[in-house]
Amino acid sequence: MRCGPTQRPELDALLTEVLETLDWPVRPELYVTMSPTINAAALGFDKPFIVINSGTLEYLDRDEQKVLIAHEVGHIISGHVLYRTVATILMTFGLGALPFLAAAVIFPFQMAFLEWYRKSELSSDRAAMLAMQDRRAVMMTFLKVAGGPAHGHTIDLDAFMAQAAEYETQGDAWDKVLQVLNTVFREHPFNTVRAGELQRYIDSGRYDKIIGGEYDKRSDARPSAEDVKHDFSEAGAYYGEQAKAAAAKAGEILGRAKDAFTDAFKTGSR
């Protein structure tokens, strides 16, 4: 269902607010699809669009819905959407449906895409924070996406943030290995990780500088493919220097991944 002034105008108004706050001139189309989960996605090639699950409207309040829309607009502004669409194709069809040689070619790219996909989530969380300028609304969104709405129970944001800090600081080397193994095939970072990373960004003072007017203007530099390759390395400080180096290496092949994906299918069809 496409949203507009007469179809779910409340969502259409939230999109307008986000675009105005982030000063983004190109309005993506906004759709709602029937699904009980809390989620949204920005997809497309030449003309990105946003799809929101109907469960989002049931479980999140107005501000939290705006957080999700702002997050997806962040993907569009950052130039993530082409690569995220390719990544979605890889994750949807998987490797099982591909011939062996094609799968062997695609597997490293699939791992690289998943790593980049998770890092792109972190940078778009920053866009959501800049659009909302309300830490609690953004963190509550993470909490509800992680564990669902209250349903009459007590949910505590402070306890959730304490869990985020605990995930980052506690555990021995083996625990860290298990954390990596538990994450490597996931599309999204754990929401505790996202909350912790966003809090780190706020604490660094960079958020306040942007709100205060210290940021690169769009007239100074346009997003480029090179930006897309490297933005997640900075955003992924949570994972440590070794993982950041691995992510940066993965970024070097992003520019070739789409061609490899096409070539793999050509090889498999011969």
Task: Give 110-155 as a DSSP string.
Answer: HHHHHHHHHHHHHHHHHHHHHHH--HHHHHHHHHHHHH---TTS--
Percent of the chain with pLDDT over 90: 43
Name the most confidently modeled range: 89-93, 141-145, 173-177, 226-230: 141-145
Asked if 86 and 261 count as a contact pair (C-beta separation under 8 A), the reply is yes
How high is the mean pLDDT of the chain?
76
d(CA 23, CA 89): 30
Asked if 108 and 175 count as a contact pair (C-beta separation under 8 A), the reply is no
What the block records as the tokens of 187 is 């599309």
Tell me the per-residue pLDDT of 2-17, one tens digit each, with 9 for 90 and over.
Answer: 999 999 999 999 999 9
- Region 214-223 average pLDDT: 64
CB-count exposure of residue 103 (10 Å: 0-12, 13-18, 19+): middle
What the block records as the tokens of 228 is 């897309």
DSSP strands (E only) in 44-200: 49-53
Asked if 22 and 77 count as a contact pair (C-beta separation under 8 A), the reply is yes
d(CA 36, CA 164): 26
For the cut 80, the answer to whether the pLDDT of residue 247 exceeds it is no
Q: pLDDT confidence of 176, banded at 50, 70, 90? A: very low
Asked if 185 and 215 count as a contact pair (C-beta separation under 8 A), the reply is no
Report the predicted TM-score, pTM, of the whole model to 2 decimal places.
Answer: 0.71
d(CA 32, CA 55): 10
Radius of gyration of the chain (CA): 19
